[in-house]
Amino acid sequence: MFVKNAWYIAAMADEVGRTLKQRWILDEPVVMYRTADGKPVALYDVCPHRSMPLSKGELLGDQLRCGYHGLVFAPDGRCTHIPAQTHIAPSWCVKSYRLVEKWRWLWIWMGDPKSADESLIPDFHWNEDPDWIPTGGHFEIGCHYQLLVDNLLDLSHLAFVHRTTIGTDAVAENPATVSREGDAVRIVRSMPSCPAPPLYAKLIGYSGEIDRSQDIVFTPPSQVVITSRSVPKGSNEADKILEYRVLNGITPGTKSTCHHFWAVSRNCVPDPQVTKLFHEGSVRAFSEDVTVLETQQTMLDRMAGRIAWMHYNADGGGNAARVIVDKLLKREAAGATERAAMS
Amino acid sequence: MFVKNAWYIAAMADEVGRTLKQRWILDEPVVMYRTADGKPVALYDVCPHRSMPLSKGELLGDQLRCGYHGLVFAPDGRCTHIPAQTHIAPSWCVKSYRLVEKWRWLWIWMGDPKSADESLIPDFHWNEDPDWIPTGGHFEIGCHYQLLVDNLLDLSHLAFVHRTTIGTDAVAENPATVSREGDAVRIVRSMPSCPAPPLYAKLIGYSGEIDRSQDIVFTPPSQVVITSRSVPKGSNEADKILEYRVLNGITPGTKSTCHHFWAVSRNCVPDPQVTKLFHEGSVRAFSEDVTVLETQQTMLDRMAGRIAWMHYNADGGGNAARVIVDKLLKREAAGATERAAMS
Amino acid sequence: MFVKNAWYIAAMADEVGRTLKQRWILDEPVVMYRTADGKPVALYDVCPHRSMPLSKGELLGDQLRCGYHGLVFAPDGRCTHIPAQTHIAPSWCVKSYRLVEKWRWLWIWMGDPKSADESLIPDFHWNEDPDWIPTGGHFEIGCHYQLLVDNLLDLSHLAFVHRTTIGTDAVAENPATVSREGDAVRIVRSMPSCPAPPLYAKLIGYSGEIDRSQDIVFTPPSQVVITSRSVPKGSNEADKILEYRVLNGITPGTKSTCHHFWAVSRNCVPDPQVTKLFHEGSVRAFSEDVTVLETQQTMLDRMAGRIAWMHYNADGGGNAARVIVDKLLKREAAGATERAAMS
C-alpha cells in the first residue's frame, strides 16, 4: 500500500529525453519520454492489447508505438492507430500520469488526477537556486521505501554506518528532539564541541572540535530535507561555516524496492573540487546505507511474520512519520470506499 | 491446465539416442532414450522410490537404472530389479508414455493411453517429403505455450518484430480473414503489390514489388502450419515463386515455459546456400519472438491479477484457437469427473 | 518443524573465534563468536530494534555492537547500551543459546534452556581421542536434513553413487538388518567375500577379496555413527584390518538446507599420507552425495504435492528413524500446548 495522491520524484530531469525509459513506481511500470518540444510524458507501461511493455516500442514523433503489434498511443494515452483497422473505441487507451519538471527533477502524480495540484510539489529549490551549489544522483535500493525514511530520520546511525565519512560518536550520543508541525515531522540534534567527521576535515580543513547541528524535516509521504550546519567550536566566522542541505526524494518502486533521488546543496566554499569531494563522499555514504538497507530487507523477508520491532527514544522521528503515512493511507482507502459507494 | 489427450512433439528425432534426455512436458518431467534397436522410449522422470530423476541414472541395455539406489526399470515402466530383494510388487513401476517417430520428430501422448491413436498425429509431412527441402530446430521459451500460439496466429507482428527479416508494413496493414473448419482455425491474408521483405530479397533476389499471401492453419491444441507464397507482382513464373511451409509444433513445458519445434520447408530454389539462408533467417526471426514472448510473460507474471486484455480484429484467429482449447479442456475435465463417478 | 530440545553441531570448534560468524540453524539465524577467554557464545542474529543481523556488527570486548544504530548486547543477550539513552528496559535482549565445546565441535541447544543437559551430547569422542586419527569437515547442502539422514541409513547407494571410491555392488546386494534400541536405530550389513572398493585398495593396499561390514547407529534427531570394518577375506591379522568410524552430525539449516558436520576417524595405519587420502576420498564421496541430495530436493520442490514415495526393505533404517523423529516432534508440540494451557 502506497499513498497515491502525492508527488513523487520519478526521474532526474536529464534522465528522460527522446528515448523510452522504464521505471517501476508505486508498484506500477511507467514509461517516460519527452515530446519533440521537451514536454515530459509518463504512461502506464503495459500495452492494453497483449501486455507488452510499451517501453520496448519506439517513438513516432510525439507518439509511442508498441513494438509487438504496432498500436500507437498519444502522450495523453489515447490509442491513435490500430493496424488494418479504422475503428478505435474510446476505451482503447493507457493510463497517463501528470509528469512535471521542477527543481531539475520530474515529479509524477499517480493518484486521482483531479487532485494533482503542482503547488503541492515539495520545496526542493536548493537543487536549482543560483545561490546554492548542488550535486546529486539516484540509487535504486532493494528495500521498502519506509526503511530508507527510517534511516534518514534517525541519523544516530552515522556513528556506526558512516564513521569513515560523516559520522562520529557525537551523532549517536547527542539525543534529538522531535516535533510535529501539521503533517510534517522535525527532528533537531545539537552537537556542541564534537570532533569533525573525516569528510568535513577533507572538505573544509576542519581540525580540532566543531559545533554541529542537524535539522531534519520530513514531509509525507517520503520527502526528507536535512540541514546540516557546522562551525569551528565557539566560532561564527562566515568562511568557516559548513552548511548544506541534503534533499531526499524517496519513491516506492515495488513492495521491496525504492528509488532514492538525492542532492546535496551548499551555499559556501564555492570550489568545484569541494563539489567533487561532496559528490564522492555522498555516494560513498549512501552506498553504505544501501548495503545496510538491503541486508535489513533480506532479513525481514526471510523472517516474515516472525519479527517484532522494539522502539527507543531515537525512533521518535521515524515512528511519527509512519503514523502520518498510515493516516494518509486510511484517508485514501476511505475516499476510495466512499467513491465506490456513490457510484 | 493442458490438453492431455493429444500428440505433442517431444523432441526432434535426432535429439534422442542411447543417452538419457530429460525434458519437461505438460508440467511433467520426462526421460527419453532409444532401445538398442532404435525404438524411442519415454518414462516419467521421477523414481517412485525417493524421487531421484531417472535421467540422472544410466542405461543397462534397454533398461534404465536409477543412479541413487539402483532400481531398474524396463521401457514399459515396470521395475525389474530392486537390490538385495527378490520380491517386486506389481505396483513398482513408473508411468510410461507412447512415443512415436513421425516426420522426423518424436511425438508423445501423455493422456489416456487407450485414446492414443497414431492417425491423429498432425500432418507435418513437409518435414520428410522428397519433394520438399526442410530445415528446422527447437527453442525452449520462457512463456506459456498459448502466447506463442497467439504470436503465430497474428502475423501482423512481422511488421514490427521482424522488420529486418520477413516483415513489412504490408503484413500489418492488410487485414486477415478468419474461418473455422471443425476444430481447426484458418487465417488467410493477401498482400498484393507490396515490397519484398529483406530476407526474400536475399533468398530469391526479389526487387520491386511482390504479391504475397499467408495461409495459416491452427489445429488444437497447439499446432500451426503456415503457408507463405510470394511472386513478383502480377507474375506467375514458376521459377520466381517463393513458397514455403512453416511447421510449428508447440509443446507446453511448464506453466511458464514451452517448446517450439519448427521447420521451414520449401519446394523451390533447391540451392543448399538458400537452405542455409532460410535456416539462419528463421533462427534470427524466431529469436526475436523469444525476446518478445519472454518479455510479455515477465510482465504478465509481475502484474498477476492486474491484467485485462483488449481485443481487436487481428486477434480473431488467436481468440478462436483459445475458445477451441478451452472446449477441449472442459471436455477432458468432464471425462475425468465421469470416470471418477463410475469407479 | 524441527526437534528443538536436542544438541546439534553448530560449528567446528576452529570455525568460531574473535570474528562474528553467522549460520542458519533450525530455520533461525544465529551469530557465534568467542569471548576474549575463549568461551563460545551464540545469539539470535536479529537485532530486536530494526532487524539488522547482529553478525554485521562488531565485537567490543566480549560484547557485540549492532552495526546499524549501535546497540550493544552482552554474551547472555542482555542489551547493555542504547546510544543517547540511559534507561534500558529488561525486555531489551536477544535470545541467547547454550553453546558447548565438545569433541572439537560446538554444540548448540535451541529448545527449552532448562532441558539443556550436556550429558545428552552424543558420544562422538572418536574425533578427540588419542588412540584415533580423525579428519573431517563441513558441507552446507541444499536439502532437507532428513534426506541426508535417509542417505546415511541406506548405504546401498554406495554401489551407484560412490562406485569410484567406497562403493561396490556388494553393498547394494547384501541386505542389512535393522533393529531398534530405545530411540536409537541400528543397521548392520555383512559383506563376506567381496571385492575391495577402489579407495580401500589405495589406502591399505587391499588386493583380492575382503570381508567387510557396516554397523550404523542413528540417534535422534539426526546423528549417525557408522563403523566400517574390513579385513582380507578370511583373515584376522591386526595390521590388515581397516576399521574407521564416520561421525555425522546433521543440523537443519532452513526448511531446504542442512549442515553436514562429518569426521572420519580410524585407529589403524597411522600414516599421515593415509589421513590425507582418507580426507580427500571422503570429500569426494560426500560431494557426490551433495549432488544427489540437491537434485532430489529440487525434484521434490518442483513436484510439490505430487510425490508419493514407495518403500522397500532397504528403507527400514531410514523409515524407523523418521518414526522416532515424528514421535519427538509430537511430544514437543504436546509439551508446548501443555505449557500454554498452564500459563
Q: What pLDDT shows up at residue A235?
A: 85
Among A174, A296, A312, select the one facing C52 at the smallest CB separation. A296
Question: For the packed helices A145-153 and A272-302, what is the interaxial angle rounded to 10 degrees?
Answer: 120
* A13 band by pLDDT with thresholds 50, 70 and 90: very high
Q: What pLDDT shows up at residue A77?
A: 98
Q: Are B137 and B14 in contact (CB under 8 A)?
A: no
CB pairs under 8 A between A and C: 75
CA distance A105 to chain B (A): 27
Mean of per-residue pLDDT scores for chain B: 95
Q: Which residues, other chains included, contact B168 with Cβ-Cβ below 8 Å and sequence gap of 6+?
A: B158, B159, B194, B195, B196, B197
pLDDT over 70, % of chain A: 100
CA C206 to CA C193: how far, in whole Å? Answer: 13
Q: What pLDDT shows up at residue A315?
A: 97
Does residue A326 surpass a pLDDT of 80? yes
A258 class by beta-carbon count within 10 Å (0-12 exposed, 13-18 middle, 19+ buried): buried
CA distance C193 to chain A (A): 52
CA distance C198 to chain B (A): 19
Residue-wise pLDDT for B313-325, tens only, equals 999 999 999 999 9
- C284: phi then psi, degrees, rounded to nearest 5: -65, -45
Residue B59: CB atoms within 10 A of its CB come to: 16
Looking at residues A53-76, what average pLDDT do you find?
98
Burial B212-227 (b: 16+ CB within 10 A, else e): bbbbbbbbbbbbbbbe
Looking at residues B11-25, what average pLDDT do you find?
98
Looking at residues B62-70, what average pLDDT do you find?
98
Residue-wise pLDDT for C148-157, tens only, equals 999 999 999 9
* B342 band by pLDDT with thresholds 50, 70 and 90: confident
- Tell whether ipTM is more than 0.90: yes
Give the chain A residue whose CA is nearest to the CA of C65: A160
* B56 band by pLDDT with thresholds 50, 70 and 90: very high
Looking at residues B331-336, what average pLDDT do you find?
91
Sequential DSSP letters for A262-306: EEEEESS---HHHHHHHHHHHHHHHHHHHHHHHHHHHHHHHTTT-
Residue B80: CB atoms within 10 A of its CB come to: 16
Q: What pLDDT shows up at residue B205?
A: 86
Name every chain A residue with its beta carbon within 8 A of the beta carbon of B159: 70, 83
Residue-wise pLDDT for C254-295, tens only, equals 999 999 999 999 998 889 999 999 999 999 999 999 999 999
**A70 and B159 in contact by Cβ < 8 A?**
yes
Residue C86: CB atoms within 10 A of its CB come to: 6
Q: What pLDDT shows up at residue B246?
A: 98
Does residue C343 surpass a pLDDT of 80? no
Burial C133-161 (b: 16+ CB within 10 A, else e): bbbbebbebbbbbbbbbbbbbbbbbbbbb
**Helix/strand number for chain A, H first, E second:** 6, 17
Range from A90-99, B89-98, B329-338, C62-71 carrying the lowest mean pLDDT: B329-338
Q: What pLDDT shows up at residue A335?
A: 87
Does residue C236 surpass a pLDDT of 80? no
Question: Residue B73 region, left (φ>0) first, then alpha (ψ -120 to 50), else beta?
Answer: beta
Q: Which residue has the cell 491413436?
A: B117
Sequential DSSP letters for A244-259: EEEEEEEEEEETTEEE
The β-bridge partners of B183 are none
Q: What pLDDT shows up at residue B338?
A: 80
Looking at residues C77-94, what average pLDDT do you find?
95
Looking at residues A281-310, what average pLDDT do you find?
96
Q: What pLDDT shows up at residue C209?
A: 92
Residue-wise pLDDT for B92-116, tens only, equals 999 999 999 999 999 999 999 999 9
* A336 band by pLDDT with thresholds 50, 70 and 90: confident
Give the chain C residue whose CA is nearest to the CA of A310: C49
Of B43, B84, B48, which is closest to residue B64 (Cα–Cα)? B43
Looking at residues A112-129, what average pLDDT do you find?
97
CA distance A295 to chain C (A): 7
Question: Residue A23 region, left (φ>0) first, then alpha (ψ -120 to 50), else beta?
Answer: beta
Q: Which residue has the higher pLDDT, B178 or B204?
A: B178
Looking at residues C17-41, what average pLDDT do you find?
98
Q: What pLDDT shows up at residue B341?
A: 79
**A156 and C49 in contact by Cβ < 8 A?**
no
* C338 band by pLDDT with thresholds 50, 70 and 90: confident
Residue-wise pLDDT for B136-185, tens only, equals 999 999 999 999 999 999 999 999 999 888 898 999 999 999 999 999 99
Q: What pLDDT shows up at residue A199?
A: 87
Residue-wise pLDDT for C138-147, tens only, equals 999 999 999 9
Looking at residues C63-75, what average pLDDT do you find?
98
**B49 and C309 in contact by Cβ < 8 A?**
yes
* B18 band by pLDDT with thresholds 50, 70 and 90: very high
B109 class by beta-carbon count within 10 Å (0-12 exposed, 13-18 middle, 19+ buried): buried
Looking at residues A318-331, what average pLDDT do you find?
98
Does residue B227 surpass a pLDDT of 90? yes
- Chain B residues with CB under 8 Å of a chain C CB are 29, 46, 48-53, 56-57, 65-70, 82-85, 91-92
Cis bond upstream, residue C221 (ω within 30): yes
Among A156, A161, A309, select the one facing C51 at the smallest CB separation. A309
Looking at residues A318-333, what average pLDDT do you find?
97
CA distance A217 to chain C (A): 20
Does residue B16 surpass a pLDDT of 80? yes
The β-bridge partners of B59 are B64
Q: Are A41 and A99 in contact (CB under 8 A)?
A: yes
Which chains have 3 or more CB–CB distances shorter than 8 Å to chain C? A, B
Does residue B340 surpass a pLDDT of 80? no
Sequential DSSP letters for A49-97: TT---GGGSEEETTEEE-TTT--EE-TTSBEEEBTTB----TT-B--EE
Q: Which residue has the cell 555492537?
A: C65
Burial A268-281 (b: 16+ CB within 10 A, else e): bbeeeebbebbbeb
3-state helix, strand, coil in chain C (%, to 5): 30, 35, 35
- C195: phi then psi, degrees, rounded to nearest 5: -65, 150
CB pairs under 8 A between A and B: 74
Q: What pLDDT shows up at residue A202?
A: 84
Does residue C223 surpass a pLDDT of 80? yes
* A238 band by pLDDT with thresholds 50, 70 and 90: confident
Cis bond upstream, residue C197 (ω within 30): no
The C-alpha cell at A100 is 512535471
Q: What pLDDT shows up at residue B339?
A: 80
**B84 and C302 in contact by Cβ < 8 A?**
no
* C164 band by pLDDT with thresholds 50, 70 and 90: confident
Q: What pLDDT shows up at residue B199?
A: 87
Q: What pLDDT shows up at residue B111?
A: 97
Look at chain A and count its residues.
343
CA C30 to CA C21: how far, in whole Å? Answer: 8
Range from A47-56, A162-171, A230-239, C143-152 carrying the lowest mean pLDDT: A230-239
* B76 band by pLDDT with thresholds 50, 70 and 90: very high
- A167: phi then psi, degrees, rounded to nearest 5: -105, 145
- C53: phi then psi, degrees, rounded to nearest 5: -60, 125
Of C276, C274, C224, C266, which is closest to residue C247 (Cα–Cα)? C224
CA distance A300 to chain B (A): 21
Give the chain A residue whose CA is nearest to the CA of C87: A312
**B302 and A82 in contact by Cβ < 8 A?**
no
Mean of per-residue pLDDT scores for chain A: 95
Looking at residues B239-257, what average pLDDT do you find?
95
Looking at residues B265-290, what average pLDDT do you find?
94
Does residue A228 surpass a pLDDT of 90? yes
* A189 band by pLDDT with thresholds 50, 70 and 90: very high
**Angle at alpha carbon of residue B33, lines to C171 and C172, rounded to 5°:** 5
Q: Which residues, other chains included, contact C273 with Cβ-Cβ below 8 Å and sequence gap of 6+?
A: none
Range from A199-203, B55-59, C269-273 carrying the lowest mean pLDDT: A199-203
Q: What pLDDT shows up at residue B234?
A: 87
Residue-wise pLDDT for C196-213, tens only, equals 998 888 888 888 899 999
CA A315 to CA A320: how far, in whole Å? Answer: 8
C254's enclosing H/E stretch is: strand C242-254
Sign of the dihedral defined by the CA atoms of residues B226, B232, B233, B238, in that order = negative
CA A79 to CA A94: how far, in whole Å? Answer: 8
Sheet holding B21-25, edge to edge: B7-12, B105-109, B96-102, B40-44, B28-34, B21-25
Sheet holding C96-102, edge to edge: C7-12, C105-109, C96-102, C40-44, C28-34, C21-25
Give the chain A residue whose CA is nearest to the CA of B170: A84
- Chain C residues with CB under 8 Å of a chain B CB are 150, 154, 156-157, 159-161, 172-176, 292, 295-296, 299-300, 302-303, 307-315
Give the CB-side neighbour count of residue C322, counting CA atoms within 13 A. Answer: 15
Does residue B330 surpass a pLDDT of 90? yes
The β-bridge partners of C230 are C212, C242
* A204 band by pLDDT with thresholds 50, 70 and 90: confident
Q: What pLDDT shows up at residue C263?
A: 98
CA B342 to CA C5: how far, in whole Å? Answer: 50
Of C236, C244, C167, which is closest to residue C201 (Cα–Cα)? C167
* C120 band by pLDDT with thresholds 50, 70 and 90: very high
Looking at residues A120-132, what average pLDDT do you find?
97
Question: Residue B208 region, left (φ>0) first, then alpha (ψ -120 to 50), else beta?
Answer: left
Looking at residues C221-239, what average pLDDT do you find?
91
